[in-house]
Structure formats: C-alpha cells, structure tokens
Amino acid sequence: MTDRPQTKDAANSMWGGRFAAGPDAIMEAINASIGFDRRLYAQDIRGSRAHAAMLAAQGIISDSDAKAIGEGLLTVLSEIEAGNFPFSTALEDIHMNVEARLKEIIGEPAGRLHTGRSRNDQVATDFRLWVRDQCDAAIAGLQALIRAALAQAESGADWVMPGFTHLQTAQPVTWGHHMMAYVEMFGRDLGRFRDARARMNESPLGAAALAGTGYPLDRAMTASALEFDRPMANSLDAVSDRDFALEFLSAASICAVHLSRLAEELVIWSSAQFRFVSMSDKWSTGSSIMPQKRNPDAAELIRAKIGRILGATVALFTVMKGLPLAYSKDMQEDKEQVFDAADSLMLALAAMGGMLSDLTANRANMEAAASAGFSTATDLADWLVREAGLPFRDAHHATGALVALAEKKGCDLDELSLAEMQSVNPAINQSVYSVLGVHNSVASRQSYGGTAPDQVRVQITRWKERLA
C-alpha cells in the first residue's frame, strides 16, 4: 500500500474552517492512527454502507446518493484489498481516509454519508465489529484445538503415565485423562469468548458524538444490517465503552495461560530426561552447534505469548481506568494493544493445534515412569482403610513404613513379599497386590471425572457431542 501525499490542506479540508493552519509534524505523528487502524477498513466500510442505506430508507438522503455511496464504498474496499489504496497520515485515521477517497470517486454525495453520526460512534462500531470477528476466530481456533486434544485422549484413553503434584510423581493417571484436563480448560475458554461475544453484540451506531442525534435514524435497522442483536441503549455509554475489548483481552489472557501451561508440559515431556512425547519436525528446530538437539521452539514461543497478551490487557485497563464520560483521545490507544494480542492468540492457538495433531506420545516410557516412584502408595493406603479397617491416618503411617522398606530394598511396592508387608501390618493379605499395579490403580478410579479409562471415554463422548 502506498501513502497519499501529505498536505495541510488535505487535513484542513476534512476539519472545515476551525483551524487556520495544519498540525505540525509532531502533532500529526501523535494524533494519527492510520498506521494501525487501517486494519478496520472492512468493518468501517460495512458500517458506512449500512448507515447510508438506513439514511435513504428514512428519507434523510436520496436513494440515488445512497446508491452512489454504497457503490463507491465497494470500490474503496476493492482498492484496499488489492493493495493500491493511497493511505494518508494527514487524514489521521481509516474513517477519514475512506471518506476522502469516496469523495474523489463519487463527488458531492460522499459529503452526505456522515449525516447523523460522529467519528465517535463510527469508531466504536468498527472496533466492536472487529473484536466480534476475533471472538469468532478464537472460538473456531479453540474448537480445532479441542478436537486435536480429544484425538490424543481417545488414542491413549488407557495409556498409563505418572500424575504429578509439585512435579513429583503422585499417582498413576492415563494419557487420555491428562489430555482431557486441557480439553476442560480450553472448553472454559470457549465459553468465555462466546459469553464476551454475546455481551458485545450491541450496536453503537447512531449514538453520534455522545448525545444521540435529532435526525430520525432507525438504529434498529443498522443494528440488524450489521448482525447486532440490538442498538445500545445509552448514547454516552455507546461511544465511551470499551468493555468489549477488555473482556476479549481478559478471555485471551486466561486462554494464553492455558496454552502456556500445556506448552510447558510439552517442553518438559519432550526432554531426554522424560521422553514422554516426540515432537514432529514441523514443530521443532535443530541447534546451530549441537547436531543431536531437537528444540521445542514452537512450544516455547507459545509459552512466551502470555507476556504480550497479558501486557496488552494491563495496558488497556490502565488507559480506561480514569477516563470521564464520554469519549477521550486516550481511547485511540485501545487498538494496537488488542490487535497485537489477537494476532498472538490466533497464532498460538493454530500452533498448539498443529503440535497436538502431530504429537506422538511414547506409551512405554510413560508407563515405565508411572510404575516408578511408589505411585500406587495411595492405593495401598486406601486398601488398608477399605479391607483392613484401619483409620486413614494409621493406613497412611503403615504405607509410609512400607515405602521406606521398599526404598531400602531398592524395589517397588508390588515387589515386596507378603511376609514383608505383614511385618508392618499383619492384616495385609494376598489381595493387596490387586491394587498395586498402575493399571489396576487407574482402573479403580471410577468416580465421575476420574482417570479410569471408562470414565475418560465418557468425557470424550460428552465433548464430541458438545462440539457437534
């Protein structure tokens, strides 16, 4: 895209006769937003076409002027999409750039487009439409990611791996169960973006500068044309609200935390010390000096995205926290933060979905790790409560003594002899061995939401139905 020549006259012609001279270079630089808000071009043109059609329907402008405006705006749209639109920083923003170019194309009727609206409600409408589109994109990205996680969970519903607390081996779980934990997290993210979208789906258009307008606008008509549920009910709120952007950023930040947690686990699991998973070459890079290395760079970059997204969230909250009603120029600082956060989130979602789809879980390595570290100690304690009638605290103490004995002998719990177990508690009998294997352990966790393969498959089915 090329820039239109910069002239003070061009800027002044848009402002009318209020200023005797154009802003100097510094004021122009701090005031102009076209460098980033050009991304709103499609939403701006869509909103303007809806506004023009409504003005004609209400008899505020002629049908012929509305037709010229609508067709001229489509020409502007095609120029921008073709990459040959002459953007100008002297015209400050996307709205004035579009309107100036429209005037060059159709002449006088372009001047009637702004009847009954202000740049305040115009930018609020454009930005709300853009953020709504990003919610839709995030929803689609999360659905694809959840499907990738479901595929991993289904393939390994009964594959045993260690479950961790404090990154120490705790109890055996299944690979499917672990993957389904992230399905639940991403499912909540899905709900947050859907909720945010529903709340933001009201139209500011027609609120004008802050007080509404004396023209007989049909705000319901433009709201419907732009697929909003209704017009916003208060003109002050309509032009000054950025809750929709804050809510999008908040949902994006929580989602990025979930992505970062999974990315961290993939980094750990792909290490030589764990070898739980193998990354495909698509999502790994080599070392410039160490030929044996396969670095999980994609996961590491996803892990870092939360910094950018959370930073954008904090920045916009800080901008908005002290603003009186209605519009203040501070609010021009809303877009770059949201644009960057949305780009980072969409890239991270796509990358994580790709990684999970190509990921190979190493069943044998996970099962070997699950069998180490006395991961069935809790099962032994539960058996002592259930079968031997011990209070749990006594069972916990007895199990600790058996773990110490196994550590001393250099074996696992199920390798202790019955006599050795009975030396700690004579109530132990042969049936205790039925709970000491890792497969027996996970199979016994039949409570709703537990790690038993049957329970994992129940949750997989529930999520498939929910996505369908």
CA atoms within 13 A on the CB side of 317: 11
What's the CA gap between 242 and 248, in Å, rounded? Answer: 10
The two tokens of residue 65 are: 């002027």
What's the CA gap between 222 and 51, in Å, rounded? Answer: 6
Strands (DSSP E) contained in 277-347 are 277-278
Residue 51 annotated among the catalytic residues of the structure: no
Give me the phi and psi of 2, to 5 degrees please: -110, 160
DSSP tag of 381: H
What's the CA gap between 255 and 143, in Å, rounded? Answer: 13
Helix, strand, coil fractions of the chain, as percent rounded to 5: 70, 5, 25
Cβ burial of 22 (10 Å; 0-12, 13-18, 19+) is middle
Confirm if 122 and 47 have CB atoms less than 8 A apart.
Answer: yes
Catalytic pick from 78, 271, 287, 328?
Answer: 287
Residue 253 annotated among the catalytic residues of the structure: no
Maximum alpha-carbon separation in the chain = 101
What's the CA gap between 344 and 279, in Å, rounded? Answer: 22
Q: What is the 3-state secondary structure (H, E, C) of 32-47?
A: CCHHHHHHHHHHHHHH
- What SS3 class is residue 3? strand
Start-end of H helices in 201-296: 219-225, 235-240, 243-269
Residue listed under structure tokens 């409570």: 447
Instruction: Answer whether the bond into residue 395 is a cis peptide, omega within 30°.
Output: no
Q: How far is CA 312 from the centre of its chain?
A: 13
What's the CA gap between 424 and 427, in Å, rounded? Answer: 9
Residue listed under structure tokens 């990459």: 83
Catalytic residues: 166, 287
